[in-house]
Structure 1
Amino acid sequence: MKLVLASNNAKKLAELQALFAPLGVELITQGSLGIAEAEEPFHSFVENALVKARHAARASGLPALADDSGLAVEALGGAPGVLSARYATLFGRPKSDAENNAVLLEKMAGMADRRARFVCSLVAVRSAEDPEPLIAMGRWQGEILTELKGAGGFGYDPLLFIPALGRSVAELGAAEKNALSHRALAAADLVRQMREVWHLG
């Protein structure tokens, strides 16, 4: 089965393709089909993932998978949340991982409560009008460091420290990250649902 991934992020595609390999599905990006990205007007990961999945399914005529994920910091009331990828732009800075990380460090300067988590919402639909979207959530608990550590991954990976591992996410290998991450947790749940409801794998 071909699934349209409602993202043009190559690193996200690689992660998800590995996570969904057990089902034998092939993920193709919406960009490769000439589909523009959907608007993400909502305040929750679930709502944004659902609107992205329906948009990709409608434009492609194929089943679609969407991921909406980001960082939620306790002391910032859950921010940057759904605005994680463009957090820096809220403060007049360019959109980039480096700027996002710099802004987060500035906002958290002097804060004692460093608790945070990566959150991932995955939604799969068989069609744009699917009345029974499959929805999975994954959360990976950690703490925000006071400086960047590690060269792997992307986004906020160099700033989220996982106490149980004694390392930042950016210090993990790809295989280890894929086994433990918020996206891995959500994908495992969604794979189970796709087997039960869509009869895949």
Structure 2
Amino acid sequence: MRRFAETRMLVATHNAGKLEEMRALLEPYGVEVVGAAQMDLPEPEETETTFAGNARIKARAAMEATGLAVLADDSGICIDALDGAPGVQTADWAETGQGRDFAMAMQRSHDAIAATGAPAPHHAQFRCTLVLMWPDGHDEIFEGVLPGQVVWPPRGAQGHGYDPIFMPDGHDRTMGEMSTETKNSLSHRALAVRRMIEACFDPAR
């Protein structure tokens, strides 16, 4: 496992909420975090069928465009009643042609679950795969999984994406109702980042 000695990292996302989450998690380690939008990078086409494959596409495109170390993630919600959908298509379910509408995506998820006739609780997982790529193309992969259930109607205005309909196991609030600090302590992305930090970062940084 390679140690990370860079002082600057490009997080390959145009999602402002995700960028701020990553920045908060990495700030204690002395790493300057910049986003893809800040670097005026286009979003590459995600053609793989796995979270790891799509994260690697994003990491390599950003690394080759900037020469920086890159952290890319692909993440989504996998709903048991929908055989794991939307999964790698989580963001696609929110596409409108004029940007992403996650209220629409949450409604689509609810309608799809209802169409199956599956009884509650509707078990699901938030899954995140991170690819940390160095300027020479070497990469390491880290995964995080947060089990929970889909609830309806949406609750809370915090977070982003599908957070308002996802309630983690052992909690009575959705991710959309939690403070940033609480969410960052238990999210699938936070778990993957912690695994990356433990493997690649010096605690003394």
TM-score, length-scaled by structure 1: 0.90
- Output the CA distance in 2 between the equivalents of 1:195 and 1:95: 34
Partner of 1:102: 107
Q: 2 CA distance for matches of 1:10 and 1:145?
A: 25
Task: Output one character per residue of 1:74-101: Cα deviation in whole Å (capped at 9) or x when no partner.
Answer: 11111101111121559x9984111000
* 1:126 paired to 2:134: yes
Structure 2 residue 112 is the aligned partner of structure 1 residue 112: no
For 1:111, the aligned partner's letter is: A
Structure 1 unmatched runs, 5+: none
Cα offsets for 1:151-181 (capped at 9, x unmatched)? 2111111111123111111111110000110
Cα distance between partner residues in 2 of 1:46 and 1:186: 12
- State how 1:25-36 maps to structure 2 within 5 Å: 25-36=31-42
TM-score, normalised by the number of residues in structure 2? 0.89
Q: Is the alpha carbon distance of 1:68 and 1:147 closer, same or farther for their aligned partners in structure 2, counting shifts above 3 Å? A: same
Letter in 1 for 2:60: R
Percent identical residues? 36
- Give RMSD over aligned pairs: 2.1
1:56 Cα shift? 0.6
Q: Work out the CA distance in 1 between the residues paired with 2:192 and 2:100.
A: 26
Equivalent residues in 2 for 1:1-201, closer than 5 Å: 1-89=7-95, 95-109=100-114, 110-112=117-119, 114-127=122-135, 129-130=137-138, 133-195=139-201, 201=205
- Cα distance in 2 between the residues matched to 1:9 and 1:125: 19
CA shift in 2, pair 1:79/1:175, >3 Å:
same
**Pairwise CA distance, 1:195:** 1.9
